[in-house]
Amino acid sequence: MGPGPSSVDPRVLEALAHPTLGHLDPAFLSLLDDLCSRLRRVYGTQNSLTLPMSGTGSLGMETCLVNLIEPGDRVLVGVNGVFGTRMCEVARRAGAEVSSVEAPWGNPLDLEDLRRALRQGPFKALCVVHAETSTGVLQDLAPLRSLADEGEALLVVDCVTSLGGLPVDLDARGIDASYSGTQKCLSCPPGLSPVSFSERAMSVVRRRRTPVQSWYTDLTLIGQYWGSERVYHHTAPINMLFALHAALCLVLEETLPVRFERHRRHALALAAGLEAMGLVLPVPKAARLPPLTLVSVPDGVDEAAVRRVLLSRHQLEIGGGLGRFAGVAWRIGLMGAGSTRDNVTLCLEALSEALREQGFHPEHDGALRAQAVLDAEESSRA
Amino acid sequence: MGPGPSSVDPRVLEALAHPTLGHLDPAFLSLLDDLCSRLRRVYGTQNSLTLPMSGTGSLGMETCLVNLIEPGDRVLVGVNGVFGTRMCEVARRAGAEVSSVEAPWGNPLDLEDLRRALRQGPFKALCVVHAETSTGVLQDLAPLRSLADEGEALLVVDCVTSLGGLPVDLDARGIDASYSGTQKCLSCPPGLSPVSFSERAMSVVRRRRTPVQSWYTDLTLIGQYWGSERVYHHTAPINMLFALHAALCLVLEETLPVRFERHRRHALALAAGLEAMGLVLPVPKAARLPPLTLVSVPDGVDEAAVRRVLLSRHQLEIGGGLGRFAGVAWRIGLMGAGSTRDNVTLCLEALSEALREQGFHPEHDGALRAQAVLDAEESSRA
């Protein structure tokens, strides 16, 4: 229940341990085709260039930025946490002239701020984080396409902690390039980064004046292995791809609407339980991210000691804060296979116990409150 | 028995499927320390910066080159196959002014050619492939350090198809930077790339005037996660690291000398068997790579049809040729767990049968010849 990696279903681990096949074995290649088609459904896209990069989420970020950016390009990045900050750094290293729109950590970006900045365009790209893993903040994607158009910008979105846990709908939202990770709401081990590029974004890549600075992430080359040509580029991470395929099967077997509703419901119950205990959730209600909840550490409580107790006594991992929230907040994940009623209860009970030992006495029983919320949710659906 | 991925021991697959831990979990971090210490032993180095990059072998290549190269640096690359060619491309994209020393595919680089080129130095780096996976050619590492010194160059070596199958001895050979892959002689699934940098190479990285163009592969940042600081950089590919740890345990349990001797012996027997059948091995005897044997396709034989028969009838994969050898040669791997007497026999028998069906009649029984060679080898050791 940290900010990822999330719990992995035993069926995904079983697929991971399938005997390794060759990266040009026909049986493996047909699995890849099926994987991409499932990935498109989860991403909500028809984009032909939709595939998992052979590295973790940060390689996906780098892939999106280095394929689109040429030296001197102007790029606008929304920054309200670690991952927006990282996009600036990666874009700068790709030679971009980077501007940013900042929002306080724990809050979403302000649309008027974005609009004002975009009017200073044109920009090659507007880069936004959908689900800020460092703060548990959700950015509404709906207004971004028309905003990006005001700056004549491609729209690049980080979906690392949203893909598979809430709608990303690339095509409906007019997103040109997106990347994600396998170890969050897809509940697959870390190691791959699904990316998707619109036809418009790919035509920008094809029309570059300079080569992509990274050979390993050059999508014009990688697309030739994943496409019908099957031209060898690098050896695919076979077993991780077995696992991702199995994870995508489970996502689609559950169906996206049911999965998204599960993430929403358990996050709502967790938040209600935490607040019943008297804990403060710094993120405004409307911007809370279902897969990841930010909780302030009460005064006088040793946050690392609490995490150590949860881990050693309950085999329960929760995350510390990052950046401006380091030492003053926890991040509790309810992602993929980990988003369950039992986990909500376990976490609230274990946290109550650990907090009491640190001298913080919860106002109400958080686990009971969470269960009441879930019961109400379930009876309203019945 | 292709050019990799090689067969994976069931114990490695079991480790791969271990329930995922967090990338900051103390149990996981102590496994990483043990992994690095084992990796140093296999690499033959004391280099502090020795770790697996979160991507396949080609990411390791890119890591070595982009960390060392700054725009305008002169680099000399030895080219006698696909991977030398790739190094030129990656170095160019990092802004290097690239010169190359070429040798015919199927042959090692000529030392006098290298010396002549190095005297046109200084160069930032001399880049050489130890084991050319595209041709099955071994480059002798022993003379390279003193040659590199003539060009005042760092020595960068591709050990993708040698690490764990033959000695690489980084420290004894004076190699400054090296990369490998997990899916060859280490017999782990593909997905990680072990790299090692000497203190001298790291001091070059630390003294750069410009940032490393890739944030994902910047070793000054990555070193802070793998070092005692444990600063989060990107989420480690946890399960693949479990597998690599298990694979390294098996390598060291067997002991390096025994493992190298096993690779040598089976390659010798395979070559003897192939030649007894009347097949031609284009690589000169002294430059043959134990883990990978290049065999010419006899006139009139449909090479792809032979590979299809081996795969469908015997579940046996061998590789086609690459680049200049595409369509005219096979590549047969005897790597890691796949380097066994049974595999030598199986391959020679299956190949004989498939060739006969294509109208090529082997001169002698290759499998019998190979067994005789192995018997003689074993009795001479006894």
Q: Do A234 and B57 touch (CB under 8 A)?
A: yes
Rounded Cα gap, residues B363 and B346, in angstroms: 18
Write the residue in B215, B234, B322 that is nearest to A57 by C-beta: B234
Note whether B221 contacts A: Cβ–Cβ < 8 A.
no
Domain covering A10-254, topology = Aspartate Aminotransferase; domain 2 (3.40.640)
Q: Is A266 helix (H, G, I), strand (E, B) or coil?
A: helix
pLDDT at A346 exceeding the cut of 90: yes
- Order of strands, sheet of A193-197, starting from the edge strand that comes earlier in the sequence: A49-53, A193-197, A177-179, A154-158, A125-129, A74-79, A97-102
Neighbours of A9 (CB within 10 A): 16
| CATH 3.90.1150.10 domain residues, chain A | 256-381
Helices vs. strands in chain B: H and E counts, helices first: 14, 12
Write the residue in A5, A86, A90 that is nearest to B22 by C-beta: A5
Complete DSSP assignment for B156-199: EEE-TTTBTTB---HHHHT-SEEE--SSSTT---SS-EEEEE-H
Q: Tell me how close the Cα of A165 comes to any Cα of chain B, in angstroms.
A: 19
Arch. (CATH architecture) of B10-253: 3-Layer(aba) Sandwich (3.40)
Structural element, H or E, at residue A155 = strand A154-158
pLDDT at A382 exceeding the cut of 90: no
| CATH 3.40.640.10 domain residues, chain B | 10-253
Q: Do A317 and B17 touch (CB under 8 A)?
A: no
Between helix B341-357 and helix B256-276 the angle, nearest 10°, is 20
Q: Report ipTM (2 d.p.).
A: 0.97
Q: Is B19 helix (H, G, I), strand (E, B) or coil?
A: coil
Rounded Cα gap, residues A57 and A4, in angstroms: 11
pLDDT mean over B91-115: 98
Note whether A210 contacts B: Cβ–Cβ < 8 A.
no
Tokens of A235: 């050896």
Q: Do B59 and A216 touch (CB under 8 A)?
A: yes
Contacts of A311 in chain B (CB under 8 A): 25
Note whether A88 contacts B: Cβ–Cβ < 8 A.
no
Note whether A236 contacts B: Cβ–Cβ < 8 A.
yes
pLDDT, tens digit (0-9, with 9 covering 90-100), for A111-162? 999 999 999 999 999 999 999 999 999 999 999 999 999 999 999 999 999 9
Write the residue in A92, A190, A213 that is nearest to B93 by C-beta: A213
Residues 89-128 of B with CB under 8 A from A: 89-90, 92-94
Residue A380's pLDDT is 86
Residue A378's pLDDT is 87
Contacts of B21 in chain A (CB under 8 A): 5
Rounded Cα gap, residues B242 and B237, in angstroms: 9
| CATH 3.40.640.10 domain residues, chain A | 10-254
Note whether A165 contacts B: Cβ–Cβ < 8 A.
no
pLDDT, tens digit (0-9, with 9 covering 90-100), for B47-87? 999 999 999 999 999 999 999 999 999 999 999 999 999 99
Q: Tell me how close the Cα of B236 comes to any Cα of chain A, in angstroms.
A: 7
Closest residue of chain B to A242, computed from CA coordinates: B189
Q: Tell me how close the Cα of B376 comes to any Cα of chain A, in angstroms.
A: 33
pTM: 0.97
Tokens of B267: 């390659």
CATH superfamily placement of domain B256-381: Aspartate Aminotransferase, domain 1 (3.90.1150.10)
Note whether B54 contacts A: Cβ–Cβ < 8 A.
yes
